[in-house]
Amino acid sequence: MIHVVEETGSTNADLAAALRSAEGWAEGAWLVARRQTAGRGRQGREWFDGAGNFMGSTVVEVGAGAPPAASLSFVAAIAVFQAARIIKDSPAGLALKWPNDVLLNGGKLSGILLEMVRGHVVVGIGVNLARAPQIEGRKTAALADVVAAPDVEHFARVLAEQFASNLAFWRADNLGGTLERFLGLSIHALGSSVTVHDTDGSVLSGTFAGLEESDGALRLRLADGSERVIRAGDIS
């Protein structure tokens, strides 16, 4: 079920509030806003509020024995990739980048934010359908760059379908297959150069050595042959 509102502060904040109250929120239901006034991205970044773009959130209940909650970012990224491929009718130009970026012709197409609330994960997703923001030092993209921009509600239905399918796979496969699927759609190849920009401003360079099977953290091989496990940060 998809609930569409004309405007709200943040769909993530709305679902978090619902989970903290007696109201609750059913897994599989989505809240989609045509406009957000207080959207946020990873690491507290402001999220672009573009008219005609997709801004929505859903909830996942994290049960005993489930993979790490943070690995739902891979589920979300794959779902966005697949939804965009369906809209484009082609995977050309689409790719994934760790930890959860979806790229279109090298530009950032979407943003994903996870928040844990009372045993549930609120999954917030923004996708540039009609237009992309101008971000200094960062290439961005919108689906409208390559195809007629889809209606927000139509895209929401396609994305919800893909997310549900990938969520079931994530639960059944205990993460391993999800990580394989992510890498198969990604720009990352073993031995390729990677530069990590940490949240504290430090920069670390090396080569891509795969993903940790337990949680999907990035393994970076340094020049001396040692490996560093990276769980947060941006890469280039």
Q: What pLDDT, on the 0 to 100 scale, is given for residue 44?
A: 47
Question: Which residues lie across from 60 on neighbouring strands?
Answer: 121
pLDDT score recorded for residue 201: 74
Domains and CATH numbers, the chain: 2-184 (3.30.930.10), 193-235 (2.30.30.100)
The per-residue pLDDT string of the chain (236 residues; one tens digit each, 9 = 90 and over) reads 899 999 999 999 999 999 999 888 999 999 999 988 875 554 444 555 678 999 999 999 988 888 999 999 999 999 999 999 999 999 999 999 999 999 999 999 999 999 999 889 999 999 999 998 887 778 999 999 999 999 999 999 999 999 999 999 999 988 999 999 999 999 999 999 999 887 777 888 999 999 999 999 999 999 998 999 988 878 88
* pLDDT score for 84: 97
Which pLDDT score is estimated for 43?
44
The C-alpha atoms of residue 147 and residue 162 are separated, in whole angstroms, by 20
Region at 155 (left for phi over 0; alpha for psi -120 to 50; beta for the rest)? alpha
pLDDT digits (tens, 9 = 90+) for 134-192: 877 789 999 999 999 999 999 999 999 999 999 999 999 889 999 999 999 999 999 99
- Model-wide pTM > 0.85: yes
Q: What is the pLDDT of residue 83?
A: 98
